[in-house]
Amino acid sequence: MSSNGLNSIEKKAAFSLAAVFGLRMLGLFMILPVFAIYGEQLIGYSPIWIGLAIGAYGLTQAMLQIPMGILSDKYGRKPIILIGLFIFLLGSIVAAMSDTIYGVVLGRALQGTGAIASAILALAADLSREEQRPKVMATIGMFIGLSFTIAMIIGPIVAEAFGLSGLFWFIALLTIFAMLLIQFLVPHSVNKAPRGDSVALPAQLKKLIRHPQLSRLNFGVFALHMAMTACFITLPKQFVESGLQLEDHWQLYLPTLIGSFFLMVPFMIFAIKKQKEKQMLSASVLLLTLALFLLWYLPTSFTGLVITVIMFFTAFNYLEATMPSILSRLAPAGVKGSVMGIYSSSQFLGAFSGGVLGGAIASNFGEQSIFLVMAVICCIWLIISLGMSPLKKSKNLSFTINVENEKQAGEVAEQLINMPGVIEATVVFTEAIAYLKVDEKRVNITKIKRLLNQVE
């Protein structure tokens, strides 16, 4: 079978899992453009509770993302994903039936409890060959970005037609559809990818959290989603105040988001071709910071809002699309699952913190101050990002190996690290796996396989 493209199972897995992930994220994102307005109608309304309702899912997601991945390794990917989607469905129903802000917060927290992102990514890894895995993951990432765009457009339309309760019932229907996809369309996994590549390894977490380069990206995704969640506590209201009714907000989001995608593509091409990923990441953080300062400083005219929102989403979409790729290249060999688990938890914790902090700022200092505080936090991120080391082109590989004990595993790892083009080598005796990070231009795969075949 050719390794140049996805085979039929990989294609089916890529698009079906991407659809499931996208539908679930669509359900989480759809309240962002409308809740600041419709939440005022709920019993118990206050800016703090609005922020909690918007960000509550992030706390439970952050807490359970890694444990759910580990459980999927023990009990199977599909059962854990289905359980997670069922909990998400319950949370949607609780929110749909609530006429108080407290019930909606509970429902959103329940939605987050169905933390299936790590289990879906692990299943995607199980169903794809190593050389094709980046394509499968990229497809899932593309659908996540698409779900955000669709949520910004259809959220106001559905809410205007059916109200806030109808919006949550719509999310519940999407969840049922996602469960059917998992049960009947997603291929059954027979083989598992190496554990270190797919799920978090608890023993590695403490060390990786302190990693000087990875921690910069973890703080970055935390700050990015904090800013995004906090800003949506007030942005929809500002659009209404500038003369754009809620049911017409899609007319702003559609061209703004499409325009931001077209603007970020040249930046991505330049960064990859010129190997300037680090510099372009810092430039995007600077653009995000400027957009937030302008949202705070400028009067809320419609033209000013459009310009600053385009700036915001151009930076947001670029960072959201490129940081996972940078993360995977910085990840030490054999712990990619742990690295992604910490990153995802940081992302969701940022969403929760943005909701809480944004609500507190709005209550005590006024909603306009949210933009100033988020701009200052992004300034800190900008300073931190400047300290990143230059990125090297590398590729992660894994090989099955027959080693008898830890001592022999260490000896083999030492031989591997001394081979030309091998940047990192980790041999895990308990998994019988050798993880390598290599320079594709210098490495000789044939020699590596020959060495591993000689191990008895």
Q: Per residue of the chain (456 residues), what is the pLDDT tens digit?
A: 345 678 888 888 889 999 998 898 898 889 999 998 999 899 999 999 999 999 999 999 999 988 998 888 888 889 999 999 999 999 999 999 999 999 999 999 999 998 888 888 888 888 887 677 778 887 887 888 788 889 988 999 999 899 999 999 999 999 999 999 999 998 887 666 677 777 788 878 888 899 899 999 999 999 999 999 999 999 888 888 888 887 788 888 888 888 888 888 888 888 877 778 888 999 999 999 999 999 998 876 788 888 898 899 899 988 888 888 788 778 887 787 888 889 999 999 999 999 999 999 999 999 999 999 999 999 999 999 998 887 777 777 778 887 777 777 788 878 888 888 887 777 777 777 887 878 777 888 888 888 877 765
**Counting every residue, how long is the chain?**
456
Residue with tokens 């942005």: 235
Instruction: Put residue 37 in one of left, alpha, beta given phi > 0 → left and psi -120 to 50 → alpha.
Output: alpha
What residue spans in the chain does CATH classification 3.30.70.100 cover? 395-454
What residue spans in the chain does CATH classification 1.20.1250.20 cover? 8-385
| Six token digits for residue 83 | 């359980």
- pTM attached to this predicted model: 0.85
Task: State which amino acid sits at residue 387.
Answer: G
Confirm if 294 and 308 have CB atoms less than 8 A apart. Answer: yes
Neighbour count for residue 38 (Cβ, 10 Å): 20
Angle at 244 between CA 240 and CA 247, to 5 degrees: 95
Q: What are the strands of the beta sheet with 395-400, ordered from one edge?
A: 395-400, 433-438, 422-428
- 8-385 folds as Growth Hormone; Chain: A; (1.20.1250)
Architecture of domain 395-454: 2-Layer Sandwich (3.30)
Q: Describe the crossing of helices 336-365 and 202-209 by its angle, rounded to 10 degrees.
A: 60
pLDDT at site 93: 97
d(CA 105, CA 6): 41
Write the DSSP assignment of 215-270 as a string of letters. HHHHHHHHHHHHHHHHHTTTHHHHHHHTT--GGGTHHHHHHHHHHHHHHHHHHHHH
d(CA 345, CA 331): 16
d(CA 316, CA 69): 27
Find, among 145, 143, 150, the residue nearest to 181 by Cα: 143
pLDDT at site 140: 84
| Six token digits for residue 357 | 């902090």
pLDDT at site 167: 95
